[in-house]
Amino acid sequence: MKTLTLRESSAPYTLTVDNDIFGQEPVILQRDGRPVAVIIPIAEYEALRARPATQQGETQMQGPDAVAGNRAAFLTMKGQLLQSHSGQYVAFKDGQLVGADSDDRALVKRLYHQFGVVPLYVKLVEDEEHVYHLSSPRKVR
């Protein structure tokens, strides 16, 4: 798996790479040493989209519903999580807490190994929320 580093010069980012990198294997994009996105081959993407909503007999939330449901579960449990997992990353799948770790990358890697590549909601358990404002993308002609 290849890793590309994003460097901030001005928003939005411009990514210049050799064409032979894409389409072969997943490419991780990172900023400040932390992964922020993954580019996957189109065949892999289409296989993920074609997967049934149920896998091995368990119902899974998909797309925006997965994010909203898992975030809601996190917010419901936040008080309890502040006592038991403060300063750790927690992961929710299908509305259930499925893991915790001080390293978010290790947590996701472990859970993807356990469940496959499924929607997860991973959040740092902290008392104060950080709000990040991102400029909107601009169309380039």
pLDDT digit string, tens, across residues 54-113: 444 444 556 667 778 888 999 999 999 999 999 999 999 988 999 999 999 999 999 988
pLDDT category of residue 10 using cuts at 50, 70 and 90: low
Which amino acid belongs to residue 93? K
Strands 27-31 and 2-6: parallel
pLDDT digit string, tens, across residues 122-138: 999 998 766 666 676 66
Report the pLDDT value the prediction gives residue 104, as an integer from 0 to 100.
Answer: 92
Residues contacting 84, CB < 8 A, separation 6+: none
Say if residues 35 and 28 touch (Cβ distance below 8 Å): yes
Q: Which fold, 1-50?
A: YefM-like fold (3.40.1620)
Q: What is the pTM of this model?
A: 0.51
pLDDT digit string, tens, across residues 28-47: 777 777 777 777 777 777 77
3-state secondary structure of 74: helix
Window from 1-5, 68-72, 116-120 with minimum mean pLDDT: 1-5
Domain boundaries, the chain: 1-50, 53-128
Report the pLDDT value the prediction gives residue 58, as an integer from 0 to 100.
Answer: 47
Peptide bond into 12 cis (omega under 30): yes
3-state secondary structure of 118: coil
